[in-house]
Amino acid sequence: MKKAVCIKNLSFRYQDMTLALEDVSLDVFEGESVVLLGPNGAGKSTLLLHLNGILRSEKGSIEIFEEGMDDGDIRSIRKKVGIVFQDPDDQMFMPTVFDDVAFGPINLGLSEEDVGKRVASALSMVGLTGYGNKCPHNLSFGEKKRVALATILSMEPEILVFDEPTSNMDPKSRTELIRTIKELNSEGKTIITATHDVNAVPEIAKRAYVLNKTILAYGTVKEIFENADLLREVNLEVPEVVKLFEILRCFGYNCEELPLSVEESIEHLTRTIEGKDGHVHLHIHEHTHEQLNSVIDRHFHPHKHHNFDKI
């Protein structure tokens, strides 16, 4: 499988000598969707800004589809890698949505007709057809996020990079954006997402890297979320669905392999019900109270005692 991104031994310090990245190595393959997990201040945004040359380091190397940052014109790299920033206002500076989305294609030297086609296509992909004449700064935050994505899609990059895409979004906008990211990946786009939204991770990726200035771990999303010690080290939690099924397991639900997403939970429940004459049987057994206390201590109120003996 062809590598879309290959990073080797990348280290970076800011001008005040603050260490942001140390000996980071990772690979992302063409058509893959990969997540960078880590707490605030872990270096996720710094790493993303290296992917199209906004930040440069003399320590380590980065290749985009086997083209090094120093092999030629950095503009050829930037055509391949589009970054959607955490704050959409960082990407919008024109009087109308159309002008913002058209800015990139115009600078590629495309004809007026081709620019119009790209703008229409990009706005359609993010569900904002008809928004061309609107003022970007009068839109809702969720709409701004989608416009910011459209400004990148109009450039038709092969790799899409998202920095905390779901932060500060209302539930409906968050769901719509996650759906869009999944659709773009299913259409062949390579996706790299930096986030600490653990509930979104199983929805958009199969593989993850855990970053805290250096790579602490990598593997499938399931492998990462099964590593409780690692999650505690970087102040992350398991998805809410996992917590729910851990509670169900305390009441006798047979679930050796915990689902990570709503989709997986539906599949798991369906298999279980089909194998149990159409029913799921829950009950209180000898160790239910002890197990519940353990789950609550791990995931909800660490170091606080809970007593469920009266359940």
Render pLDDT for 183-207 as a digit per residue (tens, 0 to 9). 999 999 999 999 989 999 999 999 9
Mean pLDDT of the chain: 90
Boundary-marking domain end, from 193, 213, 233 = 233
In sequence order, the 6+-apart residues with CB closer than 8 A to the CB of 24 are: 7, 9, 10, 11, 43, 47, 60, 211, 214, 215
- Which of 31-45, 75-89, 246-260 has the lowest average pLDDT? 246-260
Residue 185 CB coordination number (10 Å): 19
Whether residue 293 contacts residue 306, with contact meaning beta carbons closer than 8 Å, is answered with yes
Average pLDDT rounded to a whole number, residues 288-293: 82
Domain count, the chain: 2
Average pLDDT rounded to a whole number, residues 117-129: 96
Q: Same structural domain for residues 17 and 56?
A: yes
Boundary-marking domain end, from 211, 233, 255 = 233
- Which CATH number fits the domain that encloses residue 79? 3.40.50.300
Q: Same structural domain for residues 284 and 173?
A: no
The reported pTM is 0.87
Question: Does residue 308 lie within any of the structural domains?
Answer: no
Distance CA 286, CA 271 (A): 26
Q: Same structural domain for residues 39 and 92?
A: yes
Question: Does residue 34 lie within any of the structural domains?
Answer: yes
Tell me the pLDDT tens digit for each residue of 72-120: 678 888 899 999 999 999 999 999 999 999 999 999 899 999 999 999 9
Q: Same structural domain for residues 227 and 244?
A: no
Average pLDDT rounded to a whole number, residues 146-153: 96
- For the chain, what percent of residues have pLDDT higher than 70? 95
Domain of 280, in residue numbers: 240-299
Q: Same structural domain for residues 217 and 253?
A: no
Question: Does residue 57 lie within any of the structural domains?
Answer: yes
Q: Same structural domain for residues 120 and 84?
A: yes
Nearest to 239 by CA among 43, 37, 42, 45: 37
Boundary-marking domain end, from 233, 262, 290 = 233
SS3 9: strand
Q: Same structural domain for residues 287 and 184?
A: no
